[in-house]
Structure 1
Amino acid sequence: MKAEQRSFQDLTKYTEKMKEKMHASGAALLIMKDNEVVHEWYSGTRHFERGARKIDHHSQFNVYSTRVTYVGLAAALAVYEGYLNLDDKLSDYFRKWDKRILGETTVRHLITRCIGLKIKNDIIQRVFDSGTSIEGKRPDLLAEIVEQATGRTVNEILSERVFEPLGWKSTEWATEGKSTLVCDIHSPGTHPSIRMGSDIGDERNLFVSSRELALWGSLHLNKGLMGGKQILPEGVINLATTIQSPKGLDQTLPRFGFFWWLKDHQVSWEYNELGTELPEGSYQILGASGCSCLVIPRYNAVAVRMYNSLYTYENKNFDYIQDIQTFGNLVVKEIKLI
């Protein structure tokens, strides 16, 4: 990654402003264009307590829902290699749940966030017909399906096929604390924490540095080609980053690949996370802590930002939809100046 600093003044100021508004203690911003780093910026510390380590390129943020694209890529590999089919029914994998409630719900519905099911404490309810609306992500269910289909965990698959071949050392489902991990800030005045979990790849404990999250976007942008080597088949990336949403889904609702938000048309859905200035073909993922990865094929660009605040939904002074849309629009504005 060759660094070539450009201005990006407005985007950097905005990122710092949102850091303060969401009460994050740390932030990072990294922009890649034509496979080179053109802007890299760090601010703050890993928590607000005295003696906290400063944020730098070694800092690993918990990316929360941004992790779903990692689970999605493992699933795309399983589909590409014939272990899994998008039209497989969930009832084939979750026999403990009422088959009548699961009905015709498929893996395709799961990766595109339209299963129409509410599952809590192993109690399952049907809230809308599959493929008719959008709900929250369930990457844990997809991770379990991948393991059943392949006999390997998400982490095992990605470590062998991506992390190890590329020499990534700052991407991990953290099981114990270390100095590079950035703490979560839950709200003003609360103590920081670090979410730990298993290393299977199905939990909310994926920690990634800004540079490796940008490389994650770059791996997708370049169709699996990195450093002159085809790390993954192009077909796997195409699966993950093209529309997989059911054809009957209302045209006003957003479209998804394997959990990636895809810019296909101007949707009227109130929770659309993609900025209006993003060109067709762009795709993005956002996590609860404010971390996001945006890929813009038209400009051969990747934009990554990192925060560590979980005070993004309860904070009445912070509109996360407006924020992520503004971020995307500013990225386009700055990239077009290069």
Structure 2
Amino acid sequence: MKGLSNKTTFKNITKYTEEIKEKMHASGAGLVIMKDNEIVHEWYSGTHHFETGARNIDSSSQFNVYSTRVTYVGLAAAIAVFEGFLKLEDKISDYFNELDKEVLGETTVRHLITRCTGLKIKDEQVQRVFDLGTNIEGKRPDLLAKIVRQATGKTVNQILTEKVFKPLGLKSTEWATEGKSSLVCDIHTPGSYPSIRIGSNIGDERNLYVSSRELALWGSFHLNKGFMDGKQILPKEVFYLSTTTQSPESVELKLPKFGFFWWLKDNKVFCDYNELGSELPEGSYQILGASGCACLVIPQFNVVAVRMYNSLYTYENKNFDYIQDIQTFGNLVVKEIKLQQ
């Protein structure tokens, strides 16, 4: 294990991050906490995989962030909405001629980004599994990416490279198309061979690799509403769109609310299922990926907390409760930040 920190108050969250690494059978982990736009804690542990000769995890290690990538697709969509190429109330039937329009019905882009379409779509088949806007479903960033491309004529990756990645000088954020030493391998189950997921660089697949520092910068970019290094990189309105509630009013109060795929914390409303910890203040938002990677933004404290893992053994592992884990992570971040005040 090795670590880098200019504070000593983060020992509890660091200890917890290491414990969860072992519990979920990850070979590597990273932890970066930013406050007031500066890194106040940075720690790395383990290796890129469990095999002999594996590279140590460090600040240049790129983890596959899995569902954390949905916020990247979401920001590209928010840009498209702000620039007038796309409307939240656009019917998705306008973008998928191959699907049954009668089943798609009144389903809109808003329903898609807030995970309440009630649809199950596979290949060119679609079926309705619950009424529109009445429940929560899995994320479908691939569908949103296709809509964005049709509406703008550009891929998600093209939009973000032009408007975000290049202006911010990001070098360790990419949809990987080939293997290289900086990519951290996935661990599927204990004893399985490590693997790397590669694919196209369009921006619609689960092959987005990001370093711990650059995922923290992604969170900071949202926290600062597009203002970085003395410049307004993107209009503030884009971030008001992506990180405030966009869920339709038909979604019951007990269900979680979303921005452009971000989980949102609203302490005014009781929600019986949420990935955000109970101690997080109102206005916080977060995204979690299947590998255990997460980006948490806490505007009230001007804090971004990022953790990285490389285990896909999080849902089948009966000894691991991923909801309890991510809630605990957020609560510990709040506790540690309060210790500094």
TM-score (norm 2): 0.97
Counterpart secondary structure, 1:336 = helix
Once the two structures are TM-superposed, the CA of residue 162 in structure 1 deviates from its matched residue by: 0.5
Counterpart secondary structure, 2:137 = coil
- 1:60 equivalent among 35, 59, 62: 62
Counterpart secondary structure, 2:88 = coil
Q: Determine if contact 2:35/2:302 at 8 Å carries over to the other structure.
A: yes
Once the two structures are TM-superposed, the CA of residue 267 in structure 1 deviates from its matched residue by: 3.5
Are residue 268 (structure 1) and residue 271 (structure 2) matched?
Answer: yes
- 2:22 equivalent among 6, 20, 23: 20
Once the two structures are TM-superposed, the CA of residue 120 in structure 1 deviates from its matched residue by: 1.6
Match of 1:297 in 2: 299
Deviation by residue 1:14-66 (Cα, 9 ceiling, x = unmatched): 00000000000000000000001110000000000000000000000000000
Are residue 245 (structure 1) and residue 247 (structure 2) matched?
Answer: yes
Once the two structures are TM-superposed, the CA of residue 301 in structure 1 deviates from its matched residue by: 0.2
Which one is further off, 299-308 or 258-267? 258-267
Distance 2:121 2:159 in 1: 26
Deviation by residue 1:110-147 (Cα, 9 ceiling, x = unmatched): 00000100112321110011111000000000000000
Q: Determine if contact 2:28/2:57 at 8 Å carries over to the other structure.
A: yes
Distance 2:299 2:129 in 1: 36
Which one is further off, 54-63 or 112-121? 112-121
Once the two structures are TM-superposed, the CA of residue 336 in structure 1 deviates from its matched residue by: 1.0
Once the two structures are TM-superposed, the CA of residue 8 in structure 1 deviates from its matched residue by: 0.4
Match of 1:131 in 2: 133
Match of 1:313 in 2: 315
Q: Determine if contact 1:7/1:39 at 8 Å carries over to the other structure.
A: no
Deviation by residue 1:290-312 (Cα, 9 ceiling, x = unmatched): 00000000000000000000000
Distance 1:33 1:192 in 2: 34
Written as runs of structure 1 = structure 2, the 5 A alignment for 1:52-131 is: 52-131=54-133
Counterpart secondary structure, 1:87 = coil
Are residue 222 (structure 1) and residue 224 (structure 2) matched?
Answer: yes
- 1:168 equivalent among 164, 167, 170: 170
Distance 1:301 1:84 in 2: 31
Distance 1:19 1:64 in 2: 17
Q: Determine if contact 2:315/2:322 at 8 Å carries over to the other structure.
A: yes
Distance 1:84 1:146 in 2: 8
Q: Percent identity?
A: 76
Distance 1:27 1:122 in 2: 39
Match of 1:325 in 2: 327
Counterpart secondary structure, 1:256 = coil
Distance 1:238 1:184 in 2: 34
> Which amino acid in the other structure matches residue 171 of structure 1?
T
Match of 1:259 in 2: 261
Counterpart secondary structure, 2:241 = helix
> Which amino acid in the other structure matches residue 161 of structure 1?
K
Match of 2:156 in 1: 154
Distance 1:52 1:78 in 2: 41
Once the two structures are TM-superposed, the CA of residue 269 in structure 1 deviates from its matched residue by: 2.8
Distance 2:81 2:21 in 1: 39
Structure 1 alignment gaps of length 5 or more? none
Which one is further off, 123-132 or 80-89? 123-132
Distance 1:337 1:73 in 2: 33
Q: Determine if contact 2:9/2:339 at 8 Å carries over to the other structure.
A: no
Deviation by residue 1:139-197 (Cα, 9 ceiling, x = unmatched): 00000000000000000000000001111000000000000000000000100000001
Counterpart secondary structure, 1:337 = helix
Q: Determine if contact 1:4/1:36 at 8 Å carries over to the other structure.
A: no
Match of 2:215 in 1: 213
Counterpart secondary structure, 1:328 = helix
Counterpart secondary structure, 1:156 = helix
Distance 2:242 2:76 in 1: 9
Structure 2 alignment gaps of length 5 or more? none
TM-score (norm 1): 0.98
> Which amino acid in the other structure matches residue 308 of structure 2?
M
